[in-house]
Chains A and B, each alone.
Chain A
């Protein structure tokens, strides 16, 4: 008569569980954690004026000038007024290279490049 000790069953079960956890594709686990980026609006310029991020990342535009600015990309995002010493946050949901301007200051230009999350 062969019997299996309950403790062995438990250990084997745990091992299988570990195996199942460790195998198979898991996109969520492989994707990098979302990152928050900051773009400063200072001296009538976006700094940095060319930023590459991933879908799911967040960008915060911070206005350090003594007058309002906007971060406006036609059809994609528009902060409207960003008052002095305030900020505006945007979470990227789609890929692409998006040119944007401050609608008040035509010389103020930037590009946001959004890459896939993985």
Chain B
């Protein structure tokens, strides 16, 4: 079932185009942290429940990498004295992530593996879209912008690996 992935993709695509006003740095910081946390939560579940070794390893990689990115993002926000500000995109991301986790918990075996990886492919595509169309162009602070630019290749690598695992499951 791809509803969750689609929901998140729609949310992020909407975020990429529907900001009447560009998000502030505080809002961007919140979006970055939330987007990472959503993938950490799903990754932890995959690490614990996936049956396919590659899917399991992918989940572990997501939990580890996105936790690292978030640690860096929080450290930067602290340094810049920016308090991440909740916003519509963050709320939707969080809700979409929770929905995805709830859905994944109802699945087992190959069904779980496929649903998790399908979601990861859609999610990383949507995140990259949001990074390119909204987050990087809107970020005002040079260090915040640099952080997003710096971690972008990691998201590309994650997408590439998710697609590889996805095709191996077919």
Q: Which residues of A contact B (CB under 8 A)?
A: 43-45, 65-68, 84, 104-108
What is the total number of residues of chain B having a CB less than 8 Å from a CB of chain A?
19
> A104 touching B64 by the CB < 8 A rule?
yes
> A67 touching B157 by the CB < 8 A rule?
no
A43 CB → nearest B CB, Å: 4
Let me know if B153 is at the binding interface, CB within 8 A: yes
Let me know if B108 is at the binding interface, CB within 8 A: no
Interface stretch (choices B15-23, B43-51, B67-75, B82-90)? B67-75
B154 interface neighbour in A44, A68, A84, A106, Cβ under 8 Å: A44
Contacts of B154 in A (CB 8 A): 43-44, 65, 67
> A104 touching B157 by the CB < 8 A rule?
no
> B69 touching A108 by the CB < 8 A rule?
no
> A67 touching B150 by the CB < 8 A rule?
no
Contacts of A44 in B (CB 8 A): 153-154, 156-157
Let me know if B161 is at the binding interface, CB within 8 A: yes
- Tell me which residues from 5 to 50 in chain B have a Cβ below 8 Å from any Cβ of chain A: none
B161 interface neighbour in A43, A45, A107, Cβ under 8 Å: A107
Let me know if B146 is at the binding interface, CB within 8 A: no
Task: Give the nearest-CB partner of B71 in chain A.
Answer: A66
